[in-house]
Structure 1
């Protein structure tokens, strides 16, 4: 549907896009992501023919977009701008009707075909109740819908959106991208500059990562959003996890750098604290195994999404000998063992026995430990805990690294 070949754009002495090439298949939703100043908006302007590149070409539906007249180009590509404010108090319907401008001469009146296109666009975006209202009385989310409706009224095969979720609250962000997804499902091709990486990964079929005026990577979100690429492109450390509901990649920036953990770790725990601990360890490049834990536990669900080896346990019975043997084997192979708020009772006391002899032990806590340990195990757990390094999910990487030498351990406690 869209082919960008060797496009270079410069503003004065500053080159914003440098020999950029990419392609967008028909019926897909492609997200342009990257740091501020990466050229996302400039690339959209070049795609819409609003800006002529210094060199290179852009083809839409097989036609060089910059060889077309403005009216002809606007019949191929509709643009939804980032700023949806309007200087005049137009009724919403009149503003949507402006999308029909490329289809009629300047001084002709609207045709039945124009009225049909406007009606369908208003209905498709679900703003019939706003049609008679002045656009300057609408909220940001409502104006965004009106802008999309105007783009739909153009009846173009391609829809370009510049930061469609900027300045919107969470509800309107999701509503807007759900709408774009539905339009793509109906056959539209959409390209959007999106600053929220998690939303881009959730809704887009493919991402194009721009940085330094060039395409760093393109493809499915999982393949594009990697910690090394995000570190290089955004100069930021991130944690990449799977959303347990959408199963899309979630990108969380970190306040402190994540140093790689070049060691093996076995993690025993349950619930959200263990799951957060696993995310931190996995994103610090530790070689992690987990369990035992019952099916459905947040730890095992996170491990499944991350593709990490797990030990399963029956939640209603004592640990089987085979499971205990596997646990001991994983512990023997691990350089460090991490306990993250495991639920300990007489039924799985074997976990406590297996961990008791570990030299490098880290205990992760996010609350009082007695609530997840049976009362008759308090004494043994307390003794084991006293010999371990105590930390929380956010600093588990530092604690794991600190167990590797006495000097690092002293520094850790001092911090």
Structure 2
């Protein structure tokens, strides 16, 4: 090894994988948790461990850091069998940030970070300048120097986690393990933590993290390792691991996999249940107005219920377009970034005329897709999904507001969780009297400022 990263850890130059897991089997009593795991992880990789509860993610992490000994097989880190090393030697190879960030002693934050230097010091060794430098770098990288003199028990959960991450960085190991780093954190701290980890990986650190949020894992990780039934169900880039068939097999989940309209990352949307049997499928045709991923979940719900669903007009490449095509739905499209032209609007109008009900998703409205809303306003039965105020989604101004007012006058606002029931009732005639009445809401406030 030669050179240094920004974090002060040695820069590994070996072409071999940093982590090699071979036929790893771990059990507790008669229960087998890991049943022959084989995997390798290259240096400078962010690997996300995903899988259902009880799949063995935490067990694998504990085996990687040497806490658990395997029944058979082994783990090699930087060419060394971690289970043949002393605890101190293993701690110079791998550092761990636990899921539980509780610290019961009144240590100040800097003292906690200084604990990360223990693997590099002899029992009676003096504190060196190199130790100070490592601690200072760790505090700076995690933006925790501001907490240095505060008792760690006074910090929030997200702040404590950053301090424990700083402690692990002070160990200056080539491998960093994190057990559910976003658990119990608000969205701001989740993103802040994973952004920090991504920066560490960019400097050469190798990170393996158990992550329960599949969409965060897909966005931040270079590779995913999907565990199921004690074995590796899939391993590779997020797009190759997060497939609908793999999620169904591993999680027994009905989900749609698409691309996030903003980040472009693989995006997983879980659905409430599977597709209805032919004998249970609902009758009726529904046209959906969406765009930018606002309709994907509704398309799956309505198709699973058995409705004949059409959607559009949508841009080619849109997340909703991908979802519609994956279901084999009737979709009207226009070119990427193009507006709804007269031919597309005519196609939409034909589908609306044929539909028993039109669903307008929580879509953002610009001049390009305003014709979709104009066409929807002519429908006999309209259901509106409002998850954001229309003012937050309106990029046209008074013209779009007038069209949306018309939709609300003639339609009914429903909570997305109640969409299937609302469509069944509407198509079945339960709400025919609402065709010309002011918008009614199910479980939602009636003012427009929500």
Q: TM-score range by the shorter chain?
A: 0.7 to 0.9
Instruction: Name 2:178's counterpart in structure 1.
Output: 161
Q: Pick from 100, 115, 119: which aligns with 1:98?
A: 115
Deviation at 1:76, TM superposition (A): 1.0
Deviation at 1:306, TM superposition (A): 4.7
Deviation at 1:89, TM superposition (A): 1.4
**1:98 & 1:325 partners in 2: Cα distance?**
69
Instruction: Name 2:209's counterpart in structure 1.
Output: 192
**2:373 & 2:143 partners in 1: Cα distance?**
58
Deviation at 1:23, TM superposition (A): 1.6
Q: Pick from 277, 280, 290: which aligns with 2:298?
A: 280
Instruction: Name 1:125's counterpart in structure 2.
Output: 142
**2:24 & 2:319 partners in 1: Cα distance?**
41
Q: Pick from 150, 161, 175: which aligns with 1:144?
A: 161
Instruction: Name 1:312's counterpart in structure 2.
Output: 334
**CA pair 317-105 structure 1, distance change in 2 beyond 3 A:** closer
Kept in 2: contact 1:77–1:158 (CA 8 A): yes
Q: Relative to structure 2, which stretch is displaced further, 175-184 or 242-251?
A: 242-251
Q: Deviations over 1:269-292 (max 9, x none)?
A: 2567xx543433257589977433
**1:314 & 1:113 partners in 2: Cα distance?**
55
**2:290 & 2:383 partners in 1: Cα distance?**
11
How many residues are matched?
A: 384
Instruction: Name 1:292's counterpart in structure 2.
Output: 313
Kept in 1: contact 2:24–2:37 (CA 8 A): yes
**2:191 & 2:149 partners in 1: Cα distance?**
25
Kept in 2: contact 1:7–1:55 (CA 8 A): yes
**1:147 & 1:39 partners in 2: Cα distance?**
23
Kept in 2: contact 1:93–1:132 (CA 8 A): yes
Matches within 5 A, 1:359-374: 364-366=383-385, 372=403
Q: Deviations over 1:309-362 (max 9, x none)?
A: 652299999943x5467669x969xx978733399999789968xx99xxxx98
**1:36 & 1:300 partners in 2: Cα distance?**
34
Q: Deviations over 1:284-310 (max 9, x none)?
A: 5899774335x6xxx974335658565
* TM-score normalised according to structure 1 size: 0.76
**2:78 & 2:253 partners in 1: Cα distance?**
38
**1:163 & 1:316 partners in 2: Cα distance?**
42
Q: Pick from 242, 245, 249: which aligns with 1:225?
A: 242
Instruction: Name 1:214's counterpart in structure 2.
Output: 231
**1:398 & 1:81 partners in 2: Cα distance?**
43
* Structure 1: segments with no counterpart, 5+ residues: none
- 2:50 maps to 1:33: yes
- 2:292 maps to 1:269: no
Q: Secondary structure at the match of 2:385?
A: coil
**2:70 & 2:359 partners in 1: Cα distance?**
55
Kept in 2: contact 1:331–1:337 (CA 8 A): no
**CA pair 278-398 structure 1, distance change in 2 beyond 3 A:** farther
**CA pair 313-14 structure 1, distance change in 2 beyond 3 A:** closer
Instruction: Name 1:51's counterpart in structure 2.
Output: 68
**2:371 & 2:50 partners in 1: Cα distance?**
50
**2:232 & 2:183 partners in 1: Cα distance?**
22
Instruction: Name 2:395's counterpart in structure 1.
Output: none
* Structure 2: segments with no counterpart, 5+ residues: 1-17, 326-330, 391-400, 433-450
Instruction: Name 1:10's counterpart in structure 2.
Output: 27
Deviation at 1:162, TM superposition (A): 0.9
**CA pair 248-66 structure 1, distance change in 2 beyond 3 A:** same
**1:32 & 1:80 partners in 2: Cα distance?**
15
Kept in 1: contact 2:313–2:372 (CA 8 A): no
Kept in 1: contact 2:345–2:372 (CA 8 A): no
Kept in 2: contact 1:162–1:192 (CA 8 A): yes
* TM-score normalised according to structure 2 size: 0.70
Q: Deviations over 1:124-182 (max 9, x none)?
A: 11111111122222211111011111111111111001111122222111111111111
Deviation at 1:78, TM superposition (A): 0.8
Higher helix fraction (1 or 2): 1
